[in-house]
Each structure stands twice: as C-alpha cells, then as structure tokens.
Amino acid sequence: MSKDKPYRVVVIGLGSMGMGAARSCIAAGLETCGIDVRQEALDELKEAGAVSVGRNGLAFASSLDAVLLLPVNADQCRQALFGPDGIAPHLRPGTPVMVSATVAADDARDLEARLKEQNLPMLDAPVSGGSVRAAKGEITVMAAGAPETFDKLGPLLDAISAKVFRIGTEIGQGSTVKIIHQLLAGVHIAVAAEAMALASRAGIPLQTLYNVVTNAAGNSWMFENRMQHVLDGDYTPHSSVDIFVKDLGLVVETGNALKFPIPIAAIAHSLFVNASNAGYGKRDDSAVIRNYSGIKLPGDPA
C-alpha cells in the first residue's frame, strides 16, 4: 500500500459487533466499506460515512487493503468468502483476511487453507468486548497468524482494538483461546441469572442483590453488565441466547474432541438450549433467566 493511498477495509457482517467495528474504522479515518444481507444495516453504515456498501463486495473488492469478517458462524464466513457472490476470488493477491467470527479451530484451519489457495493470508482473530466497546474501537483481539499478516492489518487493528494478544503463529490457536473464553462468559451469564432468580424466589429485591454483588467478591463483568438488562426488563439482543447456544456448543465439542471433561460448561449450554427452545433464542442472552419459573422479574405483567 502506498503511503499516499488511504487504507481501505471492508467489514463483512454488520451486526452489533460488526457495525461497531465499522464505525470505529470510519472514526479512525480508514476508507470503510460494508457488506450485509440487511438493507437497514447497509443504510446505517452508509449514513455513518462508509465509502461503499452492498450485499456483496464485487464492486470494490479489488481496491481493498483488508477484509474483516464478523458474521455469526463458520458457514457464513465460507459463504461470504467462497459462495456464489463470495469476495475472495475478487481480492488482489496478498490482501489479508481477518476472520473474527467465533468458529472452531478446525473451521479456522479450513478457511485458511482455502484462502491460501488464492494467495490470501489469514489472521485467526476472534474478538471480545461487546457492542459498546466495538463502537469505541476498544475490543480485545486474540489472534494467531504470521507476523507479516499482523503488520498488514496494523491500521485495522489499531482502529478497532484496545488490546491485541498475539497467541501464536498457528492458525486455530486464536479460535481455541476464544472458545475457552466463551466457556467463562457463558457460565458467568448462566450462574448470574441463577443467582438473580434465587433472590427473586427468596423475596430479596433484585436491585439490592445487584448492588451487593457488584460491590463484593462475587461480581463479574458479565454479572454487572447482563443483570442490569434483567433489572431494566430489557432483553433487546446485544448478544443473543442463540449466540451462546452456538458458542457453548463449540466449547462442548472442543472438550469432547480433547476427551476432556467440562461438566459446568455442558450444564450452562443446556440452560441456553432450554431458553432457546422456550422461544427466547433471539432475545438478549440474559434471557437465560427465563428458565426459572415461579419468580417475578422486572417488566413482567403485574
């Protein structure tokens, strides 16, 4: 890339994290493009200052310096890269692709092998931090890949992240760290919901319990963040129940593949599956508290 040429990036998948990351790229002065299947997301990003948006990137792929993938799962990554309107065949050789969806390590390795066939380097780079930090350019990146790929993606990483952890050079290592992280995140949400549900059953005001826990040793970032949603009676999905059905499913699959017991993660996974089965799959992941019957929660009918 010429020093005189603006750095141009596309963000594929404009959900809560992708939209925040794209807006952070714009704020950092990068020429930003967006791809999504939802017209309302494309319109929002265009209004925010994107130079180009579309349901595919065929119109601008050859001008890109980097690709950031933030769809929901590995299948959507494959479709975005290699499907009928996939962007990969239209990128200039050497264009780095940063895969930041939460996927299994085997999926990350498969994506890297297919990109390598087209001379496209990949960074296995899942992210964490939620939509608020994404919008501030302060997400955490846990990445694996070649040092030169990190270098090529430097302007993008600087725009979207507060911390970049270089896990190693082997593709799959970043995804494995993210899956282990999601074990903690999912279990924390599930146990936080259980604690609030128990307080409700015991007649303890939920605001009182929240105030105590957030000022005591039992607190966690997930308790403080997600249980505020419960107190507000607001289950607008920033990260949905079904996201944790998927992510904790990956945790369980990883444990099985390694023949390693993870009973607490398996129980948490079953709680999210139950909540999804009860109709809360598209709601905020804090709606896992709806597993518990016989309790009164904020926002419930009188």
| In contact, 248 and 265? CB cutoff 8 Å | yes
Catalytic: 5? Answer: no
CA atoms within 13 A on the CB side of 174: 32
Catalytic member of 46, 136, 178, 296: 178
Which residues are catalytically annotated?
178
